[in-house]
C-alpha cells in the first residue's frame, strides 16, 4: 500500500513534506568519506525554528540545532546556560520544518559530562522529544568512552574539537586553538580518539589550518570545518552570522548578505507609514460590498 503526502496549508506556514521523499541518513553522511576521500563536501548550517529549517533544508545535508541558540535566540552571554528543554523544543521545530537534511542537536553543557550513562539518558531524551537523528557533544579524548557507549546503544554522535564554546571558562575566551605544538598535538589526538570511538562526523572549530588538514587526513569520518580549512570534508556556519544578522561575528564567518540592515530598514518604513497613517491602505482593508 502506497502513501501519498498532500499539503495542508491551512494548518501551518511551515508546510509538511511537499512530496514523498526519503530523508538523508547518518550512514549516508558517514559514507561520503571513504578511504580518506570525500566524494562531495557536506553542507551544514544551524537552524532553530521550523520556518528557518524549511528555507535551509533543500540546500543542506545536515541542519544543526546548535546550543548557539542561547546567544542567537535568547540573548545569553554564552552557551553555558542553555537547557535541555530549549534544545528539545527547538530541535522538534526544526524536524517539523524539514524533510531532507539530517537533523543533529547539540547536547547542552552539563547534560553529558558526568558519565556515559548520564549522557545516554540525556541523548535518548533529546532524540525522543525532538525526532532528531543524532546528537553532538564537545570534547575529545575525555569523551571518547562516552561516544563509544552511546553509539553502541543506537545513538549517532557527532564530535566537536578545537575551540569548544562550552569550555569557554576553562579556555579563557574564543581565540583560535593550536598555537603551540603541544596544543596542536592534543587537538589532533582528540579527533582521532573520537574517530576510534565511532563518531560519525567531527566538527573542527577555530584551529590553525594545518591542524584541520592533519585531522581531516588522519580520521576516517567526515570533518566539518568552522574556522578551520576548506580542505575539511564539509563546512558549517551559524546561519544568522552568515546572513549578516549581527554586526560583530567571528573572523571565520563570511557574510553572504546583510539581512540585519534589510530588517531594520523595513521596520523603519513600516513605522513611518503607521505614524503618517498611510498603512493600512486600501489593499489591506476589508470594505462592505455593494
Average pLDDT of each block of 10 consecutive residues along the chain (290 residues)?
38 52 91 93 98 96 97 95 98 96 97 98 98 97 98 98 88 81 97 98 97 97 97 97 90 92 97 97 90
67 assigned to a ligand binding site: yes
Assigned domain for 5 exists? no
CATH number for the domain including 46? 3.20.20.60
**Is 273 annotated among the ligand-binding residues?**
no
Does residue 2 sit within a domain?
no
The answer to the question of residue 270 being in a domain is: yes
The DSSP letter of residue 252 is T
Query: Is 57 annotated for ligand binding?
Result: no
Is 210 a domain residue? yes
DSSP string computed for 154-178: T--EEEEEES-GGGHHHHTSS--B-
pLDDT of residue 175: 76
pTM value surpassing 0.85 = yes
With respect to residue 80, please indicate whether it lies within any of the assigned structural domains.
Answer: yes
Is residue 8 annotated as involved in ligand binding?
A: no
Residue 16 lies inside a defined structural domain of this protein:
no
Tell me the residue range of the domain where 80 lies. Answer: 26-284
Residue 205 among the catalytic residues? yes
Residue of 40, 205, 264, 265 marked active site: 205
CA distances to 13, 37, 140, 157, 226 from 233, in Å: 34, 8, 19, 17, 11
User: Domain tally for the chain?
Assistant: 1
Could you tell me which of 166, 117, 118 has the C-alpha nearest to residue 140?
166
Smallest Cα–Cα separation from 64: which of 33, 35, 87, 36?
87
| 91 neighbors 130 (Cβ within 8 angstroms) | yes
Residue 4 lies in a domain: no
28 a known binding residue?
Answer: no
Residue 198 lies in a domain: yes
Amino acid at each position: 500500500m502506497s502513501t501519498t503526502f498532500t499539503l495542508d496549508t491551512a494548518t501551518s506556514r511551515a508546510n509538511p513534506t511537499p512530496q514523498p521523499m526519503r530523508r538523508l541518513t547518518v550512514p549516508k553522511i558517514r559514507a561520503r568519506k571513504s578511504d580518506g576521500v570525500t566524494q562531495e563536501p557536506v553542507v551544514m548550517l544551524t537552524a532553530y525554528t521550523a520556518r528557518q529549517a524549511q528555507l535551509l533544508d533543500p540546500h543542506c545535508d545536515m541542519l544543526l540545532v546548535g546550543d548557539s541558540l542561547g546567544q542567537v535566540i535568547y540573548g545569553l552571554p554564552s552557551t553555558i546556560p542553555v537547557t535541555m528543554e530549549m534544545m528539545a523544543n527547538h530541535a522538534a521545530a526544526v524536524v517539523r520544518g524539514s524533510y531532507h537534511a539530517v537533523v543533529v542537536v547539540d547536547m547542552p553543557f552539563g547534560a553529558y559530562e558526568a558519565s556515559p550513562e548520564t549522557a545516554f539518558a540525556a541523548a535518548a531524551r533529546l532524540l525522543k522529544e525532538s525526532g532528531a537523528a543524532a546528537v553532538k557533544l564537545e570534547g575529545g579524548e575525555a569523551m571518547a568512552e562516552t561516544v563509544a557507549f552511546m553509539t553502541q546503544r543506537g545513538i549517532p554522535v557527532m564530535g566537536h574539537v578545537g575551540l569548544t564554546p562550552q569550555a569557554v571558562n576553562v579556555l579563557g575566551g574564543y581565540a583560535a586553538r593550536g598555537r603551540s605544538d603541544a596544543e596542536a598535538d592534543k587537538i589532533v589526538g582528540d579527533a582521532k580518539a573520537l574517530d576510534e570511538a565511532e563518531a560519525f562526523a567531527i566538527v573542527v572549530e577555530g584551529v590553525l589550518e594545518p591542524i584541520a588538514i592533519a585531522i581531516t587526513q588522519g580520521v576516517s569520518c567526515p570533518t566539518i570545518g568552522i574556522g578551520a580549512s576548506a580542505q575539511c570534508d564539509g563546512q558549517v556556519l551559524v546561519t544568522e552570522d552568515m546572513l549578516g544578522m549581527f554586526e560583530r561575528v567571528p573572523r571565520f564567518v563570511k557574510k553572504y548578505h546583510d539581512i540585519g540592515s534589510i530588517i531594520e530598514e523595513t521596520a523603519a518604513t513600516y513605522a513611518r507609514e503607521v505614524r503618517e497613517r498611510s498603512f493600512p491602505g486600501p489593499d489591506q482593508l476589508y470594505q462592505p460590498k455593494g
